Amino acid sequence: MIARILLLGLVGGLLLPASGAAQIFPNQLELAKFTCGRFLALDGDERDRILIYFNGYQDGKSGTKVWKDEVVGARVDRVMATCKATPTLSLMEAFSRAWKR
């Protein structure tokens, strides 16, 4: 129950615009065309939000029922390494590759 409340709070916080921050994304973003290079150019908060979204997307797609910090951390590390090596790759593909390992 507490985990559900925390998750809802996190999702709600992600939906709110940062105070004083300019919106850098359009209202609609084609995920398959969002590149690693564009992702790496984001600042810390924006990058964290994208990581959270894509992690949730991949977990939902694979039917993950348990969140494990060490597993997610290793996957995110693989995504970051892949993106740094191949900035033209879509971020979605980088996440897909990380989840296949």
Contact assessment for residue 76 and residue 54, using Cβ atoms and an 8 Å cutoff:
no
For residue 1, being part of any structural domain is answered with no
For residue 63, being part of any structural domain is answered with yes
For residue 6, being part of any structural domain is answered with no
pLDDT above 90 covers a percentage of the chain that reads 47
Q: Specify the amino acid at residue 10.
A: L
Q: What is the mean pLDDT of residues 82-95?
A: 96
For residue 65, being part of any structural domain is answered with yes
For residue 4, being part of any structural domain is answered with no
Q: Specify the amino acid at residue 62.
A: S
If one counts the domains in the chain, the total is 1
For residue 15, being part of any structural domain is answered with no
Closest C-alpha among 74, 32, 84 to residue 54:
32
Name the average pLDDT for the chain. Answer: 81
What size, in residues, is the chain? Answer: 101
Domain that holds residue 72: 47-101
pLDDT greater than 50 at residue 77: yes
For residue 95, being part of any structural domain is answered with yes
pTM (two decimals)? 0.70
d(CA 74, CA 77): 5
Both structure tokens of 84: 């740094």
pLDDT above 70 covers a percentage of the chain that reads 72
pLDDT greater than 60 at residue 11: no
